[in-house]
C-alpha cells in the first residue's frame, strides 16, 4: 500500500481509517472520496459516487493508486428500508471497484460483515466456512460480495482481501444505520442523559469490536504475505460478544446512576436474531496474525473518557 484511494471515506470506518492510513503512508498518498463533501477538507479529497464507474477509473488512474479500499455501502437497517436501492449501490459500487482494480492492477480491500450469516448458520463459535443463507438484503449483498472478491482473485488475479466485521464501536463518527448501532448510542446517551432505551432485546448476543482494532486489522491484512492467505476474503474477526445488559452493567461501573430499559424495534431485532452470537476468528489468527487489544471493559473506559471530552460534559454520577 503506497498510493491508496478510499471510497465512502467520510463514513464511520472511512473517516478514522483515512487518518490512520495518512499517518502511516503519508497525507498525500491517501485520496479520500465520498458522495458528499467533508465539513473540513484536510488532505486530498474528491467527490465520487461509486456507481459512476468512469469517474472511479479516472480518479484512480490520475492519482496513480496502487490500492483501493472500498467502504461505500448501505448498511443493514437502512438497506432493509430500501432493498432495491441497496442492491444497486452495494453491488453496483462493488463491481465498479473490482473492475477498476482489475484494469489498473490495484490491491483491493472491502469489508463483509457478520450480516453475511443467517438463521441456519451455527450461532456459537460460528466457523469461517459454514452455511450462509442470510435473510436480509444487506446479507444477500455481503455474500454475493464475498463470492465476487474470491472470483476476481481466482479468475483475474486481483489481490483482493477482506474481513467480516462485527458491529464496530467508535466515538469519532456516528454509525451509518446498522443493527449493532445501539452499542455506540448507549455510550452517548449514558454520558449525555444517564439513561438509554435499547431497541435490541436483553439476551441478544452479537459480536463487536472497538474501532482501533478494526483499523489495525485492515492494515495488517493488507500488509500480510499473500502467499500465506488461504482465505483471502471475508475472514471472520471479532473482539467480544455481549448482549445489552452486559454493556449496561459495564457502563454502570463508571456511571452508577445509569439506567437502561427496552423498547424493542422488531425490524432490527429480527436482523439481530438472524445473526450469530459469537464467531470463530481462528482462521484470521492463523493466516495473518489477527488480534484485538480491546475487550468490553477496556473499550468502555476509553469510550466514556473520549466521549466526556467530545461532548464537553461531565458524566452523570
Ligand X SMILES: NC(=O)c1ccc[n+]([C@@H]2O[C@H](COP(=O)([O-])OP(=O)(O)OC[C@H]3O[C@@H](n4cnc5c(N)ncnc54)[C@H](O)[C@@H]3O)[C@@H](O)[C@H]2O)c1
Catalytic residue among 138, 171, 187, 196: 138
In the complex, minimum distance from the CB of residue 17 to ligand X, in angstroms, rounded to a whole number: 8
Q: Out of 1, 5, 6, 12, point to the residue binding ligand X (CB under 6 A).
A: 12
CB neighbours of residue 317 within 10 Å: 9
* Residue 139 in the binding site for ligand X (CB under 6 A): no
Q: Is 186 in the site for ligand X (CB under 6 A)?
A: no
Which position among 19, 20, 25, 35 is part of the footprint of ligand X (CB under 6 A)?
35
**Could you say whether residue 307 binds ligand X (CB under 6 A)?**
no
**Least gap, CB of 5 to ligand X (angstroms):** 12
Q: Which is nearer to ligand X, 49 or 305 (CB)?
A: 49
Q: How would you classify residue 261: left for phi > 0, otherwise alpha for psi between -120 and 50, otherwise beta?
A: beta
Q: Which of 43, 44, 51, 277 is the binder for ligand X (CB under 6 A)?
A: 51
Query: Does position 72 bind ligand X by CB under 6 A?
Result: yes
Pairwise CA distance, residues 89 & 83, whole Å: 10
138 among known catalytic residues? yes
- The region of 172-180, 219-227, 233-241, 295-303 touching ligand X under the rule CB under 6 A is 172-180
**Listed ranges 30-38, 99-107, 121-129, 304-312: which one lies at the site for ligand X (CB under 6 A):** 30-38
Task: Check binding of 299 to ligand X (CB under 6 A).
Answer: no
Are 126 and 278 spatial neighbours (Cβ–Cβ below 8 Å)?
yes
Instruction: Classify residue 256 as exposed, middle or buried by CB count within 10 Å of its CB (0-12, 13-18, 19+).
Output: exposed
d(CA 29, CA 178): 30
Three-state DSSP state, 236:
strand
Identify which of residues 34 and 287 has a Cβ nearer to ligand X in the complex: 34
Quick one: angle between helices 182-192 and 244-252, nearest 10?
A: 30
State the angle between helix axes of 182-192 and 296-310 in degrees (0 to 180), rounded to the nearest 10.
Answer: 50
Please give the distance of CA 219 from its chain centroid, rounded to a whole number: 14
Binding of ligand X by 14 (CB under 6 A): yes
* Lookup: cell for 25: 503512508
Which residues are annotated as catalytic? 138
Amino acid at each position: 500500500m503506497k498510493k491508496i484511494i478510499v471510497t465512502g471515506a467520510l463514513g464511520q470506518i472511512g473517516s478514522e481509517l483515512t487518518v490512520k492510513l495518512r499517518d502511516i503512508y503519508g497525507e498525500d498518498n491517501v485520496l479520500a472520496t465520498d458522495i458528499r463533501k467533508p465539513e473540513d477538507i484536510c488532505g486530498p479529497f474528491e467527490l465520487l459516487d461509486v456507481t459512476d464507474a468512469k469517474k472511479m477509473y479516472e480518479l484512480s488512474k490520475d492519482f496513480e493508486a496502487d490500492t483501493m479500499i472500498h467502504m461505500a455501502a448501505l448498511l443493514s437497517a437502512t438497506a432493509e428500508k430500501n432493498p432495491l436501492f441497496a442492491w444497486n449501490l452495494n453491488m453496483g459500487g462493488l463491481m465498479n471497484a473490482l473492475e477498476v482494480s482489475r484494469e489498473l492492477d490495484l490491491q483491493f480491500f472491502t469489508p463483509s460483515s457478520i450480516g453475511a450469516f443467517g438463521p441456519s448458520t451455527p450461532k456459537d463459535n460460528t466457523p469461517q466456512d459454514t452455511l450462509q443463507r442470510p435473510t436480509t438484503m444487506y446479507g444477500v449483498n455481503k455474500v454475493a460480495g464475498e463470492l465476487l472478491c474470491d472470483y476476481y482473485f481466482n479468475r483475474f488475479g486481483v489481490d483482493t482481501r477482506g474481513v467480516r466485521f462485527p458491529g464496530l464501536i467508535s466515538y469519532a463518527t456516528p454509525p451509518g444505520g446498522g443493527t449493532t448501532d445501539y452499542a455506540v448510542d448507549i455510550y452517548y446517551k449514558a454520558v449525555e442523559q444517564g439513561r438509554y432505551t435499547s431497541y435490541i432485546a436483553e439476551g441478544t448476543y452479537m459480536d463487536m469490536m472497538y474501532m482501533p482494532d478494526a483499523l489495525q486489522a485492515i492494515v495488517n491484512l493488507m500488509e500480510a504475505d499473500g502467499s500465506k492467505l488461504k482465505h483471502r476474503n471475508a475472514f471472520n474477526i471479532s473482539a467480544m460478544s455481549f448482549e445489552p445488559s452486559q454493556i449496561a452493567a459495564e457502563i454502570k461501573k463508571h456511571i452508577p446512576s445509569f439506567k437502561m430499559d427496552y423498547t424493542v424495534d422488531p425490524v432490527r431485532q429480527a436482523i439481530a436474531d438472524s445473526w450469530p452470537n459469537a464467531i470463530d476468528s481462528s482462521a484470521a489468527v492463523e493466516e495473518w496474525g489477527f488480534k484485538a487489544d480491546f475487550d468490553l471493559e477496556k473499550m468502555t473506559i476509553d469510550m466514556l473518557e473520549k466521549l466526556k471530552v467530545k461532548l464537553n460534559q461531565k458524566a452523570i454520577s
